[in-house]
Amino acid sequence: MIALILNGRSVEVDDEPRTPLLYVLRDTLELNGAKFGCGLGQCGACTVLVDGAPVFSCVVPVGDLAGRRITTVEGLGTRQRPGALQQAFIEEQAAQCGYCTAGMILRAQALLERNASPTDEQIRSALEPNLCRCGTHIRIVRAVRRAARERQRAAADGVSRLGGAG
């Protein structure tokens, strides 16, 4: 049994320790967000966060992750309470086929958590490991920019109410 903290909740999985995290997320835990793209860490479709840092879940053995915090796109929000990036991707219509979308969102999430107002160059540089074959790059950058603005606005509102930024 390997204990993980998945989207803020404790779970235990019985997969072989060498099993890449991606298969645990998709096959054992039945989450859809992380996608199989290459299995080689070349395309980023499988990107999730481990302790807040983006990783290629297709090449990280689950046995190395005991007790670590894993965030998938399912953990960022729901239709009722969308995360800032999820909302921004919808508002910018920043998807064509959408297969790369969850990986893009997570890599952007990691960026925004360490840099609240990145430049376009910084956004592009952060997203460089992730491939999009449909050519949605411009919209994806725009969505990340929009999410950054919204998060800052929400943070400012939160401060003015002496509350947390959530």
Partner 1 sequence: MAVTGLKVSRRAVLSRAGALVVSFALAPSLAAAAARSSGEAADRSLPGSLRSTPLLDSWLRIDAGGITVFTGKAELGQGIKTALIQVAAEELAVQPQAITLVTADTARTPDEGYTAGSLSMEDSGTAIMNAAAQAREIMIALASERLHQPRRDLTAGQGAVIAPGGRRIAYADLVSDRTLHVRAEPRSPLGNPAHRRVMGRSWPRVDIPAKVFGERAFVQDLRLAGMVHARVVRPPSYGARLRSVESAPILRLPGVLHVVRNGSYLAVVARREYQAVVAMEALSRAARWEESANLPQQSRLFADFLEWPSREVPVATRGRPPDLRRLHAATMLEAEYRRGYLMHGSIGPSCAVAHFDQGALTVWTQTQGVFPLRRALAELIGLPESRVRCIQVEGAGCYGHNGADDAAADAALIAEQVPGRPVRVQWMRADEHKWEPYGSAMLARVRGALDEAGRIVWWEYRVWSNTHSTRPGGAGELMPAWYLERPLSPPAPRPLPLPAGGGDRNALPLYRIPSLKVDYRFVPRMPLRVSALRSLGAHLNVFAIESFMDELARAARLDPVEFRLRHLDDPRAVAVIRAAAERFGWREYRRLAGGGKGFAFARYKNLAAYLAIAVEVSVDHGGPMPRVLRVVAAVDSGEAVNPDGIRNQIEGGIIQALSWTLLESVRFDRTRITSRDWASYPILRFSAAPHSVEVVVLNRPGQPFLGTGEAAQGPAAAALANAVADATGLRLRDLPLSGDRIKGAMRS
Residues found near partner 1 in the complex (CB under 8 A): 1, 6-7, 9-16, 19-20, 23, 26-33, 35-40, 42-43, 45, 72-74, 77-79, 82, 85-86, 89-90, 93, 95-102, 105, 120, 124-125, 127-128, 130-139, 141
- Minimum CB separation of residue 155 from partner 1 in Å reads 22
CA distance 16 to 38: 21
**Shortest gap between Cβ of 104 and partner 1 (angstroms)?**
10
Shortest CB 137 distance to partner 1, Å: 4
Q: Which residues contact 79 (CB under 8 A, 6 or more apart)?
A: none
Question: Closer CB to partner 1, residue 74 or residue 150?
Answer: 74
- Nearer to partner 1 by C-beta: 111 or 162? 111
Nearer to partner 1, 26 or 151 (CB): 26
Q: Minimum distance from CB of 117 to partner 1 (Å)? A: 18
Q: CB–CB of 10/3 below 8 Å?
A: yes
Q: Which is nearer to partner 1, 124 or 149 (CB)?
A: 124
CA distances from 150 to 135, 141, 144 (A): 25, 14, 10
Torsion of CA 89, 111, 77, 60, to 10 degrees: 110
Give the position of tokens 């992730």.
130
What span, in angstroms and rounded, lies between the C-alpha atoms of 74 and 150?
20
Supply the minimum distance, in Å, between the C-beta of residue 115 and partner 1. Answer: 16
